[in-house]
Structure 1
Amino acid sequence: MKAAVLFTGGKDSTYATYLSLKRGLEVKYLITMFPKNPYSWMFHSVNIEATKLQAEAMGIKQIIRQTPGEKESELRDLKEAIEGVRKEIEGIVSGSISSSYQKNRIDLIARELGLVSLSPLWGSNPIEILYKMTKTGFEIIITSVSAQGFDQSWLGRRIDEGTIEDLEKLSKKYGINPSGEGGEYESFVLDAPLFKKRIEAVNVEKIWTGTNGYLLIKEAKFVEK
């Protein structure tokens, strides 16, 4: 099956891409939405420009589509982006794990366009998924935080066993989603088994407002693996 992946540069969409390729899908495109609204209901807004490096590292053509990021109009923008490649694909892949809001809307768009909606992570335990990612060789950093329990020290932190344990503690204490699917945090993948080269962030800036913030990747480069 030929498919396009809804790609944010974060851990879930990258892992969904990895699993899709491993299961024999032909990933023709990465579709990345670039919301002007940092509080988009559907899409990441941090470090979208840097996702171009990830697409190049994977050798998959990327389509970046700007959207105001408003609750319903962003879905129309997503549908239009998918329609642009509709004749070349049979399925659309997303990294949804437990967000019915996201999955239901992606499923609806897929049905309207006559495509199969694929969610290889759906229903997975978020903690188990994080361990699988790290054990598989994913190098992931946290690029934004916006929930109780997080502070500035989380920005740029690598997701490893210790980080996963701390996320589990925050989940039990504050009720956050350990996968960050509720917007609690966002991530960026620097390396993965499907990357031909590793990405190194050589110039970053932490933006902190007192209760939330993000890590801006101002410059990055490829490093041979």
Structure 2
Amino acid sequence: MNRRVVLSWSSGKDSAWALYVLRRQPDTEVVGLLTTVNEVAGRVSMHAVRQELVEAQAAAANLLLWPVPLPSPCSNDAYEERMSQALHALRQEGITHIAFGDLYLEDVRAYRERQLAGTGIEPLFPLWTSRPETPRLARRMLDAGLRAVVTAVDPHHLPERLVGRPYDAAVLAELPEGVDPCGERGEFHTFCFAGPMFAGAIPVQVGETVCRDGFWFADLVPRP
């Protein structure tokens, strides 16, 4: 029996690569992307990418997008209530699994597992690896044709100049020692605009760069 999977979608490279990996598994049917959205700003939570760009990603992947609107500010109780509602709706649609693009953070994985316990939906971690393996994973993504933009950086770990840059070998070479090349610990975030998981590239350009909530963000806008 095939697994009917929804992929937790942040808009970044790890989510996109997880989609590519899942689609190469014969017993797995990816039926949609699940994205939390700030209902006030109309942007993806944490990454702050415009919702219209995530909709473009879903269209390029030929998948349904299931947005989960979150209030702003959003308490943990409010988040868990909205997610519980979303999970119930997904179960009614016959979804058996939710996949996550997490790489190696055990506490994050344990939280996902607790959140899904008793829902009838099981978690999947198709990219799960170890910290020493992430440089190789980053190169594998780029070698396969994945293309992304660095949309946010934590200035405690990275210089502002990297925000808005292509996620490529040059950026990887500039990462300070100790920074994960996949940004698994929140050092940076990306938006994936092209790769083998999409039917075509999503035209975007880098707009204004702002400092907000302790991060530097590059506002991506659709390119005409």
Taking structure 2 as the reference length, the TM-score comes to 0.85
- Give the CA RMSD over aligned residues: 2.4
Q: Is 1:93 aligned to residue 99 of structure 2?
A: yes
Corresponding residue for residue 5 of structure 1: 7
1:118, distance to aligned residue in structure 2 (A): 0.5
Letter in 1 for 2:160: Q
Q: Is 1:201 aligned to residue 204 of structure 2?
A: yes
Check conservation: 1:34, 1:44, Cα contact below 8 A: no
1:215, distance to aligned residue in structure 2 (A): 0.7
Corresponding residue for residue 160 of structure 1: 168
Greater displacement, 193-202 / 130-139: 193-202
Structure 1: state its 5+ residue gaps.
none
1:82, distance to aligned residue in structure 2 (A): 2.1
The one-character-per-residue Cα deviations of 1:12-52 (angstroms, maximum 9, x if unpaired) are 111111111111311111000014699xxxx5341141111
1:121, distance to aligned residue in structure 2 (A): 1.1
Corresponding residue for residue 141 of structure 2: 133
Corresponding residue for residue 117 of structure 1: 123
Aligned residue for 1:214, secondary structure, equals strand
1:95, distance to aligned residue in structure 2 (A): 0.4
CA distance in 2, matches of 1:140, 1:147: 20
CA distance in 2, matches of 1:37, 1:129: 35
1:206, distance to aligned residue in structure 2 (A): 1.4
Aligned residue for 2:128, secondary structure, equals coil
Check conservation: 2:103, 2:128, Cα contact below 8 A: yes
Corresponding residue for residue 70 of structure 1: 75
1:212, distance to aligned residue in structure 2 (A): 3.5
Q: Matched residues, percent identical?
A: 21
Letter in 2 for 1:84: A
Check conservation: 1:32, 1:65, Cα contact below 8 A: yes
1:216, distance to aligned residue in structure 2 (A): 0.7
CA distance in 2, matches of 1:165, 1:73: 40
Aligned residue pair count = 213
The one-character-per-residue Cα deviations of 1:101-130 (angstroms, maximum 9, x if unpaired) are 322121122222122210011124221111
Structure 2: state its 5+ residue gaps.
none
CA distance in 2, matches of 1:17, 1:81: 20
Letter in 2 for 1:75: E
Check conservation: 1:9, 1:188, Cα contact below 8 A: yes
